[in-house]
Structure 1
Amino acid sequence: MRSTFPRSSVLVLGANSVQSLVPSTLISQVESLLDSHRIEDALDLAVRQRKKLQANISIDEDEADELRYVYQRIGFQCFAETRFVEAMNCFFDGEVDPRLVISYYPELRGSMFTSDDSMDVFAGVAERMPLEASVEDIVRNYSPHLSPNTRSAPSTAELRKILVAEANEKLELFLTRWRARWKVEGGDVAGGSTNTSRSAVPCLEVVDTVIAKLYAQHEKTQELYNLFHEPHQISVSEIEPIMKRNGQYNALCMLYTEKGQDTQLLEVWAKLIDGEWTDEDIKDPLSDMIKLLTEKRDRTLTQHWGLWITKRDAERGLQANIFLLSNPSH
């Protein structure tokens, strides 16, 4: 962030010096308020400054950076104190890199990025980010209203679950808002952007995949379908385990179909046909399997799955095999 020096109109001339009376900067005021644990006052100050900037005809980038810094500082302070609603709102207003927030959710982060990946963050913010490795640790360690703490007091286990659930819920809201803003401001979720000044492309796969994981975890099936119908950059290898664990097989089939992963698609249908898995949104997996084999006319797939179908439905399997063998593609 470029330095913004406050201007002074008052100089005090001494015998051996000249002193200047300068107003407190936005950052110094907010830091002072946070040090005094006056978070609401810090938020009010940030809101007033944002309204002031929005009223200007043109935005001063130095002042905009100051405001981003302030929101991020307040956000991580709230995050450390399990005030997840305020934290996520500040992260959004401060345009924080979503990966910084997701890094506190190891299960959702998976192997999509590590601490070695490059992320933009203000030095002053990085120095004051929570030291805990996860949201669970933050909740466990920050319990000023409970005694002794959530680690050793079984009676507080339910509250811990509620706080962690809220952290996940608010993360989902933050990421969906971030994604919506990215599209509105000229981003192309399929991989490009008309706004190159603040490129967010490295975040897209992470954001899309984590949103999909949260939808699967919370059984938001329709939202998951809607996400797959939009341009997206969801990582198949990251989303597969959680979708299988939560029984989101139709959504998984949609993803395999989009990516052209025919073998994996056939394997899902096979488990559904054999009753190992169930999904009411997949009405007739055997017909789906025959249709795919008919369309692809792949000799390797036909030899394997044609015999497999015949063992389970001799009539339909024989018809499919006769058609496929008489109309081979390759």
Structure 2
Amino acid sequence: MFATVAGISQRAPVHWSENVTGAAVCFPYVIALDDEFITVHSMLDQQLKQTLPFKEGHILQDFEGRVIVATSKAVYILVPLPLEKQIQDLLASHRVEEALVLAKGARRNIPKEKFQVMYRRVLQQAGFIQFAQLQFLEAKELFRSGQLDVRELISLYPFLLPTSSSFTRSHPPLHEYADLNQLTQGDQEKMAKCKRFLMSYLNEVRSTEVANGYKEDIDTALLKLYAEADHDSLLDLLVTENSCLLTDSAAWLEKHKKYFALGLLYHYNNQDAAAVQLWVNIVNGDIHDSTRSDLYEYVIDFLTYSSDQELVWKYADWALQKSEEVGVQVFTKRHLEEEQNSFNPDDILTCLKKYPDALVKYLEHLVMDRKLQREEYHTHLAVLYLDKVLQQRPSADSMGTEVTEAQAKLRHLLQKSDVYRVRFLMEKVQGASLPMERAILHGKLEEHEKALRILVHELRDIPAAEDYCLWRSEGRDPAYRQQLFHTLLTLYLSPSSSAPELAVAAVDLLNHHAAEFDAAQVLPLLPGSWSVQLLCPFLTGAMRDSVHTRRTAQVALGLAKSENLIYKYDKVRA
């Protein structure tokens, strides 16, 4: 205990009196006798544990495991209390450190299995003592080391264990408290600290081996604590994997008016209809829960990703009545594969007849996003665009921003789509003061002269006329494009077109698009008053193209002659 065989001390010395007349060992204690006392020191921490008055003592000796002390008149045997009794007495006096040291030192005197059971219990008891003193860090380590059944701790908190739990506390009990109210003596601040500790402890152990077999009890208790404390982690618990018992948890959440969280609980337990109904009640103001200010948008997203068609149809009208623009996302933002395999677009269109803005959004989704090539969808969308333009025009002194946006969408659809009923739409725009739209429709009918006449003479929109030629000739052969530009030039140079700006437009057209014209057809159309210098870029380009064409033809002719000579030569040799 005091020194090695080399005589080197490895522990602090035991402080005895100067008149020690005898000493003996009774593990884990060293007992000493002096003139007036018998002193007992621990071998584990060298601290004085007990002092017994004893005068006229002459002998102190260890005899076959017993300590004998004698005077000149009598012999006494010192009998130690059982170690477990000593440990429990120390714990009862809240001398936790001493109890733990003694318990750990008892390992050598107790069979291994019995020691492990005893030591775990001591650790658990010590943990509750530290817990009662609000020493939470120490308590947590003792609970972990002692492998505490976490339900022992939860059971201190009233109503946290599920009503279906069959748990009963350890016997004999690990502590002296009936519940948290007794432990804190009604001190609300202490009670709040204890609840915060339990939240932290349960959150740490719920994903460890400590939770094995008790996950329902742990998660349900954690949910109740979060709900009672209005803790942000309540939602995190419910949107991740958990074992919260539905019956207990639902009643508790309802009690604390956590209706949004209750909806998440229903959803986790595959009760989506109950979840959505609860959230709808919150949005409608039937019940109050301010957890999410964007709950309406959340419900829309939830329905969007729901595969339950019956549920979506049940709340589609509600969603659209709140906001057509947002509500229609239930149909437009679905995954494409799911949408194709579940919802029939015709059924959705029937539902949306009462909601014009939503109807437009959904048709745009079908035509622009899904690119469905069905005539009725394209025609219907074009008609809706046209109706909106016509409704807005009378109330606008000029083409306002909103009108321009509507017309831009209409024109884009008319230009890009080849599926809608052109003649049907032409009838609708006739007399509607929509010349640009009429021009586009004439173009779809291959009535290019009519279209260009509208652009040139009605709208006086020279750039639009040139863009029209480029648009309609896109992907067509050069002859088709040449014919379009020639038609436009003819309109510019028509005798009825005496406006100076058209003459300027004709010159610009020739000079900027020289490659699109056949000079032989153009030159007879040009006024005799135009100078060569005015058309220099066009004439230069025409000459270059003519020379290039002639030389290309000569090369082709030469190659053909060479090939013919080779053929004749091979024929003669054969």
Same-fold call, TM cutoff 0.5: yes
Aligned to 1:173: 200
Distance 1:228 1:318 in 2: 28
Matches within 5 A, 1:222-241: 223-228=233-238, 230-241=240-251
Q: Pick from 293, 301, 306 the counterpart of residue 295 of structure 1.
A: 306
Aligned to 1:100: 152
Q: Is the Cα–Cα contact under 8 Å of residues 228 and 256 in structure 2 kept in the other structure?
A: yes
Deviations 1:158-202 (A, max 9, x none): xx111221221222233234335xx2xxx4xxxxxxxxxxx8533
Deviations 1:256-278 (A, max 9, x none): 33332211221232023213434
Aligned to 1:10: 64
TM-score, structure 2 as length reference: 0.38
Aligned-pair distance for 1:248?
4.6
Aligned to 2:180: 135
Aligned-pair distance for 1:311?
5.0
Distance 2:260 2:206 in 1: 24
Q: Pick from 77, 92, 96 the counterpart of residue 42 of structure 1.
A: 96
Aligned-pair distance for 1:120?
7.3
Aligned-pair distance for 1:124?
3.1
Quick one: which amino acid aligns to residue 167 of structure 1? C
Aligned-pair distance for 1:108?
2.0
Aligned to 2:280: 270
Q: Pick from 84, 94, 101 the counterpart of residue 27 of structure 1.
A: 84
Alpha-carbon spacing, 1:9–1:33, altered in 2? closer, same or farther (3 Å): same
Q: Pick from 202, 212, 220 the counterpart of residue 201 of structure 1.
A: 212
Distance 1:176 1:319 in 2: 37
Aligned to 1:259: 269
Quick one: which amino acid aligns to residue 200 of structure 2? L
Aligned to 2:221: 210
Distance 1:252 1:209 in 2: 13
User: Larger relative CO (CA 8 A, sep 6+): 1 or 2?
Assistant: 1
Alpha-carbon spacing, 1:62–1:247, altered in 2? closer, same or farther (3 Å): same
Q: SS in structure 2 opposite 1:295?
A: coil
Aligned to 1:125: 173
Q: Pick from 133, 145, 150 the counterpart of residue 83 of structure 1.
A: 133
Deviations 1:290-330 (A, max 9, x none): 7527733433x356434444554578768969x998478xx
Q: Is the Cα–Cα contact under 8 Å of residues 162 and 248 in structure 2 kept in the other structure?
A: yes
Q: Is the Cα–Cα contact under 8 Å of residues 30 and 45 in structure 1 kept in the other structure?
A: yes
Alpha-carbon spacing, 1:266–1:60, altered in 2? closer, same or farther (3 Å): same
TM-score, structure 1 as length reference: 0.61
Q: Pick from 125, 133, 137 the counterpart of residue 73 of structure 1.
A: 125
Distance 2:273 2:259 in 1: 15
* Unaligned stretches of 5+ residues in structure 2: 1-26, 29-61, 69-76, 332-338, 348-574
Quick one: which amino acid aligns to residue 172 of structure 2? G
In our comparison, the structure showing a higher alpha carbon Rg is 2
1:285 counterpart = 2:285: no
* Unaligned stretches of 5+ residues in structure 1: 1-5, 15-19, 141-149, 151-159, 188-198
In the alignment of these two chains, the number of paired residues is: 267
Q: Is the Cα–Cα contact under 8 Å of residues 303 and 330 in structure 2 kept in the other structure?
A: no
Residue identity over aligned pairs, in percent, reads 20
Q: SS in structure 1 opposite 2:306?
A: helix
Aligned-pair distance for 1:91?
3.5
Alpha-carbon spacing, 1:177–1:266, altered in 2? closer, same or farther (3 Å): closer
Q: SS in structure 2 opposite 1:105?
A: coil
